[in-house]
Structure 1
Amino acid sequence: MASSPQLGRTVPDFTLAGGALDGDTFERRDYTLSAARGRAVVLAFYPGDNTAVCTKQLCSYSSGMETFEGLDAEVWGISPQDVDSHESFARAHSLRMPLLADTGREIARTYGVAAPGIGVRRAVFLIDAEGVLRWKHVALLGATFQSLDTLAGHLSGIQSA
């Protein structure tokens, strides 16, 4: 497994295809991390669409979007499924954040979260408005996820630093 980005350092940039629900429309476009500068970004790597823990995790984050927005943060979900799968997943669960398709797992490898067998480890990276990694959690097994409250607490710390 490649090493993960280091705290206090600028994270690797990337562009991935993805989409997000906007009302009844699933808006497809490319997402470039450096284009999000000026706001904090929560990168939530997850193993798969429509799996029990991933669904619970992303539904939790989606229902807490006002909390993230209040902290001037965006949330991007990243998994190896394609954009069609992400659209189906977002529609089935009314997910309100962009879901990005890392089908070749290149970004998962760059961020040190590619894993044999499961494809991608459940991981969260909190990136400040300047593109610097401020907090991360990479799960060994991925049976649980970092809560909205945990992420909000860390994001609040980033804002006040």
Structure 2
Amino acid sequence: MLKAEETAPDFTLKSTEGKDVSLSGFRGKNVVLYFYPKDMTPGCTTEACDFRDQNSLFENLNTKVIGISPDPVEKHQKFVEKHGLSFTLLSDSDHQVSEAYGSWQKKKNFGKEYMGIVRSTFIIDKEGKIAKVWPKVKVNGHVEEVFQFVKEHLS
């Protein structure tokens, strides 16, 4: 997994609007880049709705929230519509970006091992450097913690 002070790897992925979105396109803004396993699941929905509810506060701090999962754009669109998400979701269907950030890892569930997204969050500063990493996110209270970090360190 990447660490603070490293340059965030640039990428280009499809958004829910079907547009190509590149990390480098947000230079001059802070970015909260969060990786999550799957649309429409309880933990991922809670996290997305928490980011939705705080999105205007992040925007007031010149910070863009971006969510990434391996789900296809069409599933992201349904997720956005169902929950009124007000930030960008990107589809990493081949998990190359998740791998570059170290969020694609071996997981265990009910005794079975498989590869998947480990819920993680990266704050990237205006110059494209990683300012903070949360490697294994617990959903409850996470968005508030992320907001406080941005407010105290990057505003």
Q: Please give the TM-score of this superposition, normalised by the length of structure 2.
A: 0.90
Relative to structure 1, is the Cα distance of residues 94 and 81 closer, same or farther in structure 2, using a 3 angstrom cutoff? same
Q: How many residues end up aligned between the 2 structures?
A: 148
Could you report, residue by residue, the CA deviation over 1:121-146 in whole angstroms, capped at 9, with x for unpaired residues? 1000000000010001011xx55355
Partner of 2:150: 155
In structure 2, which of residues 100, 119, 123 is the aligned counterpart of residue 122 of structure 1?
Answer: 119
Partner of 2:76: helix, strand, or coil?
A: helix
Q: Among 12, 22, 38, which residue is 1:15 paired with?
A: 12
Q: Distance in 2 between matches of 1:135 and 1:159?
A: 11
- Partners of 2:46 and 2:139 within 8 A in 1: no
For residue 84 of structure 2, what is the aligned residue in structure 1? 94
Deviation at 1:63, TM superposition (A): 1.1
For 1:97, give the aligned amino acid: F
Structure 1 spans left out of the alignment, 5+ residues: 20-26
With normalisation by structure 1, the TM-score equals 0.87
1:138 is matched with which residue: 135, 139, 145? 135
Give the drift of 1:94. Answer: 0.7
Change (3 A) 1:79 1:146: farther
CA shift, 1:148, in A, is: 2.3
Do 1:124 and 1:136's aligned partners in 2 also have CA atoms closer than 8 Å?
Answer: yes
Distance 1:38 1:44, change over 3 A: same
Q: Do the aligned residues in 2 keep the contact of 1:17 with 1:29 (CA within 8 Å)?
A: yes
Q: Which amino acid aligns with 1:89?
A: F
2:110 corresponds in structure 1 to none
Does residue 66 of structure 1 match 2:56?
A: yes
Q: Point out where structure 2 has 5 or more consecutive residues left out of the alignment.
A: 107-113
Counterparts of 1:47 and 1:148 in 2: how far apart (Å)? 17
Q: Shift of residue 86 of structure 1?
A: 0.2
CA contact (8 A) 2:3 2:133 kept: no
Partner amino acid for 1:18? S
> What's 1:44 paired with?
34
Cα RMSD, aligned residues only:
1.4
One-letter amino acid of the counterpart of residue 129, structure 2:
V
